Structure 1
C-alpha cells in the first residue's frame, strides 16, 4: 500500500463509516473497525477477498452497471446498494467507491466507504405511517384514502372494473365524548373500525376521515355486493359494545341516553362522475337507499348488474 493510502487509512481508521481499501483488481488490503461493526466480518476474514464478490449479487444488475459507468467516467460512484451481514441479515447501505489511478491512468486501488441506512429507512417508514394512517384506529387517513380512490378510478379506466364508495358516520358521537370523555370515545372508534373491517374483504379499504366519519372503498364489486356490504356494516355496528369494566356501557344503537345511528352514503363508479373528488362529494349528497333505512345512496348502478 502506498504512503498516501496509508495516510488515508490512518485518517479513516476511527471514522464512523466503514472503509475498505483494495488493490487494482478489487482484492481487499485493509479495513477499519467500523467495517467490522457494520458487516460482522473481522479484518482477517476479508483480507485478500474480492470486494466486488462480497458486495455483489444483492442489488439489481442495473445498479452494478451504474457503478462501473461512474468509475469509468468520473473515477467514483455514490449510491445505495444492498449488502449482507455475517449473520445473513440483508441491509441497505450508502456505498461510495473511488478509483485511484497512477500517472498512466491505470487503476491501482479502490477505496470504498459504506454507512448503514437501515435506521434512516426505518425512520422514513415511521414518518410515512404517521402521515398516512389515523393514530386512533390505525386505519388509512383522508390523504391515503384519496390516493387509493384515485388508484381504483384509474384501474377502472384501464380494465373496466367497477368500484363503490361508502361514507359512514356515527350520529351524535360528540355526546359520547362530552359525557364519557375522549378516551372512551377513542375506544368506541377503535371498536367501530374493527367491526367494519371484520365484515369486509381484505381488498376493501376502510378509512377514518376524521371525527366519527369513515369511508370505505369497495373495488371490483357489483351493486348487490354494495348493498350486502352496507347491510353487514349496519348489523355489525348494531351489536352492543363490551369491554372489561365498561361492559354494556357502549351500544352502537344506544349509548346511555345517546343514540348512535349509522348514516351511510354510497357512490358507485362508473357513473356520472369522473374524478375522486366528485365521487367523494357525491357519496356525501346521497339520496335514501330503499333497502336499508339507515343508509343513503348516490351514483349510477353497475350496468352489468342484472338487478338494476
Structure 2
C-alpha cells in the first residue's frame, strides 16, 4: 500500500494572536502554521497543467474546479453518464472506498486481503476488493455492517484520510466545534494541521454529510500540497554546491486570503529513510511577502553543517514546517 513518508521528528508551534504597538497605523496580526511532506519527482505532472474536464454542473468559475480537474485527469474520480459531476450529491461510503484506493495507487490485482466480514458487503459487491483492502490496513473499522450506500460524514472522512495516507498526528490546528472528547478529534486536528481541512469560521462541522465536491477537494489536497491551505511548498530542483551547501529551489504557495510575511521554514530532506539535510531551527525568509493566493519561486540553502548525508536524490521527500504572520 502506497503511503506518503512519515516524519521522523516532532515540531510544536502555538497558534497565537500578536498585537503590535498601539498607534494610528497599527494593525493586529495573526500567525498561521502548516506542516506536511512533499515528494520530489521530476516526472510528476503539475496539478495546474491538467486540461479542464467538462461537466455541465461545474462552471468555469466553480470554487473546486481545479481540484476536480486534477482528480479526473489522473483517473481518480469520474462523473456520471449524463455529463454531470454531481457536485452536491452526498458521497456514498462504497464510492469513497473506490476513490481512496485509486488515490493511494493500490493495485488490486496484486493486493490481497481477507474477507472483512461485513454482512452487507458480499464478495460480489462492486467495491468488495476496495473495502476489504482498506479494512485490512485499518482505514475502515471492522463491524457487522459497512453500510456501503450510506452517507459519509466529515468526521468519518477525517479518519479514513488520516489512516489511508498515513498522516502523522498533529494538534497545531483545532476547531471550535470539535472538543477533545470527539471520537474523531485526533484525525480532524491532523487534517487541519496539514492544511487539508480549513474549516468554516473556526468550525469543522464533523457531523455534516460530505458531498462529492468536498471529498474531491480533500483528496486533491492530500495528494498535492499545492492545493492545501496556508503556506505550502513544492520542490523544483535539488543541487549539491561546490562549497558544501545544498541548494533547494522551491515554489512557495500562499493558499490563504491574506498576504503573508515573516515566513519561517524548517525542513528535513530525505532519500528513502536517510536524512540528507536538516535545519534544526526555523529559518526566516528575509523580506519575503506573498500575496493572497499567490506563489513565488524561492531558493533555500542548507549549510555544509546541515547536510548530513551526500547521497543521490532517489525516492526523495521533504518534511516541512512553516509559520507566518498576516494582518487581521
Give TM-score scaled by structure 1 length. 0.24
The structure where helix makes up a greater share of residues is 1
Larger CA Rg, structure 1 vs 2? 1
Greater RCO, CA 8 A, separation 6+? 2
Give TM-score scaled by structure 2 length. 0.23
